[in-house]
A and B are shown apart, each in its own frame.
Chain A
Amino acid sequence: MTVVIDRNKRPEGQESQDRASRPPRSAAARAREKGGADGGLYKRRTPIYPKLVHGAWRRLKWALLIVTLTIYYVTPWIRWDRPGDLPDQAVLVDFAGRRFYFFFIQLWPQEVYFITGLLVMAALGLFLASALFGRLWCGYACPQTVWTDLYIYIERLFEGDRNARMKLDAAPWSFDKAWRKGGKHAVWLGIAFGTGGAWIFYFHDAPTLIRTFWIGQAPMTAYVSCAIMTFMTYVLAGSMREQVCTYMCPWPRIQGAMLDEHSLQVTYRFDRGEPRAPHKKGATWDGRGDCIDCNACVVACPMGIDIRHGPQLECINCGLCIDACDEIMLRVERPKGLIAYDTDAAVAARAKGEKAVYRLIRPRTLYYAAALVLVSGLMIWGLVGRSPMDVHVLRDRNPTFVRMQDGDIRNGYTVKIANRSFQPMSATIAFEGVAGASLKTPGVDATPGALTVTVEPNQIRAVRVLVTAPPTALPHANMPAAFVVRAGDADQSVETTFLSGAANTR
């Protein structure tokens, strides 16, 4: 007998009766009901029309917009002279040649740990900045913020400021609406293409690529990357905007762990603002807060939130509401800074009538700073002490050793020498651990002590080294040994073994 346990079964009573009386409905229909009045499985986007503000933070954001975009567009065009056929581009991720060039630094794929270190540093820097000053990255430097800002600027050029845009969107289609919308999207697409187009210069020689790109001779990856970046820029900055930060980006969620009550962030000082109420000119300010509930901070917000609700996941700390509020405060002749960079602790202290205390040095900031210093130190130490040479040894496994005509024992090794410098490298290979061992490489006569080979610049040379030793030098079947490779100031010792088989030892 099958017993069906129904976890959904409600106790006898009003609910089951209630449900039974309803007509059958699909799951999708129920989901639509949950989705709100608009219907659909997902929350519909509420359009946001940020109003242009003027002030210190807006000016800072314009300046940072110009700086960051300039860095992005100009970097691939900086030249950096390197010898021979090596690329002369200062910053180049050369996938085809498997090298990463950054001014005087040139990294090989084997050194990917430097990239890892860079990412760890970036993360720790972000942690530290967030713990101290809130979401600086989100508000000022994140590409999503910068490009969205640029796109809103273009939108404003074609469609006007907030009220004009709202009116235009509500208006029926007309020639005026069509050319404004069309023009906006055309410029947006142009910027998007410029973004995608600049991106690919980081991966190929820029002056060559800008020529081959237009005549169809650039690599397919360049066209595909350009198309993807163009599309993503257009969609992310044009239509998705704040949804990227709110729904797609993990950083707002991680934020919660980085921030505490002493972190500076864009804050509505409710201690000063509440109770809020509209204010008539000339009326008294006694017994009320400074907030006149004008909504200037709300309409300025590119994220569509009300900062007066306190710190929120959506808030990118861009500071535009500070500018918006300061303008109003000046007009109503109250002190500026009703919305400002402040800490939760300070606001709470003032609300209780105590003196606000600011603590930049806290265990959290000390830990982040210490970790950042440590990782930076490791990176600098690694880069400074980085050898131009890298050696790896593979020993022959089949056969492990060979007995020669005269009874000597020979082992075969492949010594791989990487020359990371830009000059030819003369490397001396010596073998330590077995007395009287002689070294030989095909094409070069045998030498008792050491071999010298030349490694081309920026290349790896695999040298097959045959080491021969007389049985008298082999007290054990398995002798620990090492290859010592010297080139100029650089030397490296790589451990290996010399095998001879028990029957061949003396």
Chain B
Amino acid sequence: MSKREADEVTGVETTGHEWDGIKELDNPLPRWWLYVFWASIIVAIVYWVLLPAWPGINGYTKGVMGQSDRANVAQELQALRDLRGEGAARLTNATLEEIESDPALQEYAMAVGQSVFGDNCATCHGAGGGGAKGYPNLVDDIWLWGGGLADIHHTLQVGVRSGAEGARFSQMPAFGRDQMLTGPQVNDLTELVVSLSGREADKAAVARAAPIYAAQCVSCHGATGTGDQAQGAPNLTDGEWLYGPSREEIRTQIWSGRNGVMPSWAGRFDDETLKALAVYVHANAGGQ
């Protein structure tokens, strides 16, 4: 079925195969190509000897060079730890204030903090720390638990309602859902809270809600609604609303009392990383 013949035009012999009248010329391989082909076979054999190559049933051929990607990664990680050791030691030995006032150390802490923040905090607080509904904005000067270096450092260590020992804890009751207040009462209270930040509100409703506020809210939010950072009670007068500024959103918060959770990071980061993160958050917010 295959018939080798000399091609009429070029004079080169064909392979004898024919597809729809198209025949293939049997030109020899270029010499350089052939050499490369043989050279690549030799390279492959050398490779088998030197490097891990053939899979077996209980393992693989290890090769005489002792190459192992796993070992290399471990080595590089160790090298990275050694490289960071010096900076880490400087962070460990300095107080938070010292870190922030020394430009070089601050720059180092900011770099560490930025990368740690991006990996761990940005999910909730946003890449730039701008926060989101239910997740506090970290770059303004409004703080639930205090914006000082030590306050931030402590919040990072223990978390908020994290279940960790010594965690920061506060609770907004679910006044409506738990039937502590009736629907109309919650409506009136909403008007009062709206009026606290200087917005237009129904004056009659505010007057009706005043005794309720005095009975239920003053202990945490204070008589004038300025809150209390010691117990994590939000300031209601600053126009910043963690769960949204609209009447519906404020009413929902009074009715259901949502309480967000921030994890405790003490066991997850080493001390110098926590310090760097605290400095980063503090400096980014302008530093109180």
Q: A2-B21, A402-B137, A443-B100 are in contact. Are A24 and B106 (CB under 8 A)?
A: no
A283 sits at the interface (CB 8 A):
no
Which residue from chain A places its CB closest to the CB of B127 in the assembled complex? A398
B101 partner residues in chain A, CB cutoff 8 A = 443
Q: How far is the CA of A326 from the CA of B105 in the complex (A)?
A: 75
A462 sits at the interface (CB 8 A):
yes
B173 partner residues in chain A, CB cutoff 8 A = none
B137 partner residues in chain A, CB cutoff 8 A = 399, 402
Shortest distance from the beta carbon of B17 to any chain A beta carbon, whole Å: 15
CB atoms of B140 and A405 under 8 A apart = yes
A464 partner residues in chain B, CB cutoff 8 A = 110, 283-284
Q: Mark A438-467, 1 if CB is under 8 A from B, else 0.
A: 001011000000000110000001101010
Apart from A442-B284, A462-B107, list 19 A-B contacts with CB within 8 A: A2-B20, A2-B21, A9-B9, A19-B9, A20-B6, A24-B11, A25-B12, A28-B27, A28-B31, A397-B128, A399-B126, A403-B240, A405-B140, A405-B142, A410-B139, A410-B140, A410-B286, A443-B101, A443-B287
B10 sits at the interface (CB 8 A):
yes
Q: How far is the CA of A129 from the CA of B286 in the complex (A)?
A: 61
B141 sits at the interface (CB 8 A):
yes
B6, B22, B130, B139: the one within 8 Å of A24 (CB): B6
CB atoms of B9 and A6 under 8 A apart = yes
Q: A4-B22, A16-B8, A19-B8 are in contact. Are A399 and B106 (CB under 8 A)?
A: no
B87 sits at the interface (CB 8 A):
no
Q: Mark B1-32, 1 if CB is under 8 A from A, else 0.
A: 00000111111110000001110000110110
Q: How far is the CA of A410 from the CA of B106 in the complex (A)?
A: 22
**How many A residues touch the partner, as a band?**
35 or more
B31 partner residues in chain A, CB cutoff 8 A = 28
Which residue from chain A places its CB closest to the CB of B143 in the assembled complex? A405
**How many B residues touch the partner, as a band?**
35 or more
Q: How far is the CA of A16 from the CA of B11 in the complex (A)?
A: 10
Most buried by B among A16, A396, A442: A442
Q: Mark B68-105, 1 if CB is under 8 A from A, else 0.
A: 00000000000000000000000000000000110100
Shortest distance from the beta carbon of B228 to any chain A beta carbon, whole Å: 15
B238 sits at the interface (CB 8 A):
yes
Taking CB atoms and an 8 Å cut-off, the chain A residues in 359-402 that contact chain B are 396-399, 402
CB atoms of A443 and B8 under 8 A apart = no
Q: How far is the CA of A16 from the CA of B139 in the complex (A)?
A: 86
Which residue from chain B places its CB closest to the CB of A2 in the assembled complex? B20
Q: Mark A17-29, 1 if CB is under 8 A from B, else 0.
A: 0011011111110
Q: A24-B6, A28-B30, A442-B100 are in contact. Are A19 and B140 (CB under 8 A)?
A: no
Shortest distance from the beta carbon of A126 to any chain B beta carbon, whole Å: 36
CB atoms of B11 and A442 under 8 A apart = no
Q: How far is the CA of A462 from the CA of B283 in the complex (A)?
A: 13
B13 partner residues in chain A, CB cutoff 8 A = 24
B129 partner residues in chain A, CB cutoff 8 A = 399
CB atoms of B106 and A402 under 8 A apart = no
Shortest distance from the beta carbon of B42 to any chain A beta carbon, whole Å: 23
CB atoms of B21 and A4 under 8 A apart = yes
Most buried by B among A6, A16, A25, A402: A402
Q: How far is the CA of A466 from the CA of B140 in the complex (A)?
A: 11
B27, B139, B142: the one within 8 Å of A399 (CB): B139
CB atoms of B106 and A27 under 8 A apart = no
CB atoms of A27 and B27 under 8 A apart = yes
Q: A24-B6, A443-B101, A443-B103 are in contact. Are A412 and B140 (CB under 8 A)?
A: no
B239 sits at the interface (CB 8 A):
yes
Shortest distance from the beta carbon of B184 to any chain A beta carbon, whole Å: 31
A407 sits at the interface (CB 8 A):
yes
Q: A28-B31, A399-B128, A442-B106 are in contact. Are A405 and B286 (CB under 8 A)?
A: no
Q: How far is the CA of A2 from the CA of B21 in the complex (A)?
A: 8
A20 partner residues in chain B, CB cutoff 8 A = 6, 8, 11
Q: Mark A26-67, 1 if CB is under 8 A from B, else 0.
A: 111000000000000000000000000000000000000000
Q: How far is the CA of A468 from the CA of B139 in the complex (A)?
A: 12
CB atoms of B27 and A405 under 8 A apart = no
B28 partner residues in chain A, CB cutoff 8 A = 26-28
Which residue from chain A places its CB closest to the CB of B4 in the assembled complex? A24
Which residue from chain B places its CB closest to the CB of A22 in the assembled complex? B11
Taking CB atoms and an 8 Å cut-off, the chain A residues in 470-485 that contact chain B are none
Q: How far is the CA of A87 from the CA of B121 in the complex (A)?
A: 42
Q: How far is the CA of A16 from the CA of B238 in the complex (A)?
A: 98
B275 sits at the interface (CB 8 A):
no
A397, A407, A442: the one within 8 Å of B286 (CB): A442
A221 sits at the interface (CB 8 A):
no
A110 sits at the interface (CB 8 A):
no
B127 partner residues in chain A, CB cutoff 8 A = 398
Q: How far is the CA of A443 from the CA of B107 in the complex (A)?
A: 11
Q: A2-B21, A19-B9, A27-B27 are in contact. Are A403 and B140 (CB under 8 A)?
A: yes
A8 sits at the interface (CB 8 A):
yes
Most buried by A among B28, B139, B142: B139
CB atoms of A405 and B240 under 8 A apart = yes
